[in-house]
Amino acid sequence: MHWHILTGEYPPQPGGVADYTYAVARGLAAAGDAVEVWAPGCVPARQPRIAVHDLPDHFGPRALSTLSRRLRRSPTPYTLLVQYVPHAFGWKGLNVPFCLWLRAQPRASTWVMFHEVAFPVSRQQSLTHNGLGLVTRGMAAIVASAASRAFVSIPAWEPMVRRATTVSTPIGWMPVPSAIPVSADAAAIAAVRQRFADGNALVGHFGTYGGLIAPLLADAVNAMADAADVHLLLIGRGSEAAAVHLRRQNPAARDRIHATGTLEARDVSHYVSACDVMVQPYPDGVSSRRTSVMVALSHGRPVVTTAGALTESLWHDGAVVLCEAADGDALAAACVSLARRPSEAMRLGAAGKALYDAQFDLRHTIARLRAPDTAFTDWPAAS
């Protein structure tokens, strides 16, 4: 197969969609397909079976003209695979011309992966934000109508996409795998534990510490601050600022709150593997689009997380510990309990790893893309 992948971000740019697209491109190439990636601000490169193209603007007129010209010249039949997140295509999330351009492409060759569908609409937010929500819903409808096949990262997106497609358009569930390969460097992992745990238990969190998740994490950390035998390790971009905030809130525990800052993927693997427990709260609940929890599961780390409106039923089968998002005390108690019971932590970590291998590993993503008819019957039950 010959793929043209359109994405709003691609390494060396940071971001979950960038990491996901990089992993998918490599996976398709390893399976024998030809892959071309189109993104703004990336580094043009050629690898075996992969060509990366830097677009001249952020899916504006010059970029769309370039894409149209190059696609018309494609010497072989191709599939246009769009990594859709409304704000990823520039214009402050309002790039309607890109959506219209996409609808003008041959429908039979256009597939769309909806990582997200639209900005939410709510009575609790401003008119400006609700206006953004309405426009992005219209954009999603145009994009969905352009697709001969659509994929969604979580089942909750399916009804929104379905309303904009024809009855015959297949829509499949395609969860997002971890973008951090597991490194089995025992010496590096031991060095992390020696540096940060100092013989104590180590509870970790991996993420970017955004405004929705940081308060939930802070509630859990504040509740476990009195556990003198537990250290906390914040991993990833934004962790240093988050650690400063948490130390101010918990001065007695300041020496037990650590942060890594931005890391290379291999180092992320070492730091996650060094943790006894990972705490990963989400305001709308853990779901199959949360790449940070996928990293913990793929590394066999026991996970304490939250249930919510977007949580699929498979998370209730004992592979993770589920708490209410607003219950920081429950999150803290579950983390401390697991940290002090290594055998139970090991059992939970193994269960999480088994769930990841069975449902989320990258090989499932590549199989769904290369044999797509199998991707439209494999839906998890609603929570």
d(CA 166, CA 150): 11
Minimal CA–CA distance to 218: which of 329, 119, 315?
A: 329
Measured between alpha carbons, how far is 277 from 367 in angstroms, rounded to an integer? Answer: 31
3-state secondary structure of 45: strand
CA nearest to 112, candidates 99, 126, 128: 99
Q: Could you give the angle at which helices 214-224 and 328-339 cross, rounded to 10 degrees?
A: 60
- The predicted structure's pLDDT at residue 383: 56
Under DSSP, the state recorded for 359 is I
* Predicted structure pTM score: 0.91
Per the DSSP assignment, residues forming a β-bridge with 277 are: 203
Burial class (CB in 10 A: 0-12, 13-18, 19+), 71: middle
Q: What is the pLDDT of residue 76?
A: 84
Report the pLDDT value the prediction gives residue 326, as an integer from 0 to 100. Answer: 86
Instruction: Per residue of the chain (383 residues), give pLDDT as tens.
Output: 899 999 999 998 888 899 999 999 999 999 999 999 999 988 888 888 899 999 999 999 999 999 999 999 888 899 999 999 988 898 888 899 999 999 999 888 999 999 998 777 777 788 887 888 888 888 999 999 999 999 999 999 999 899 888 778 899 999 999 999 999 899 999 999 999 998 899 999 999 998 889 999 999 999 998 888 999 999 999 999 999 999 999 999 999 999 999 999 999 999 999 999 999 999 999 999 999 999 999 999 999 999 999 999 999 999 999 999 889 999 999 999 999 999 999 999 999 999 999 999 999 999 999 986 765 556 676 55
- The one-letter amino acid code at 287 reads S
Residues 152-192 pLDDT 10s: 999 999 998 998 887 788 999 999 999 999 998 999 999 99
Phi, psi of 372 (to 5 degrees): -65, -25
Contacts with 313 (C-beta within 8 Å, 6 or more apart), sequence order: 380, 381, 382, 383
Alpha-carbon torsion (319, 338, 186, 242), positive or negative: positive
The predicted-structure confidence for 19-48, as pLDDT tens digits, reads as follows 999 999 999 999 999 999 999 988 888 888
Phi, psi of 157 (to 5 degrees): -80, -20
> In three state form, how does the secondary structure of 103-145 look?
HCCCHHHEEEEECCCCCCCCCCCCHHHHHHHHHHHHHHHHHHH
pLDDT in the model for residue 375: 58
CB 331 within 8 A of CB 304: yes
Amino acid at site 158: E
Q: Which domains does the chain have, with CATH numbers?
A: 2-177+362-376 (3.40.50.2000), 186-360 (3.40.50.2000)
For the record, the structure tokens of 17 come out as 């969609």
Nearest alpha carbon to residue 350 among 314, 277, 303, 300 = 300
Q: What is the pLDDT of residue 382?
A: 58
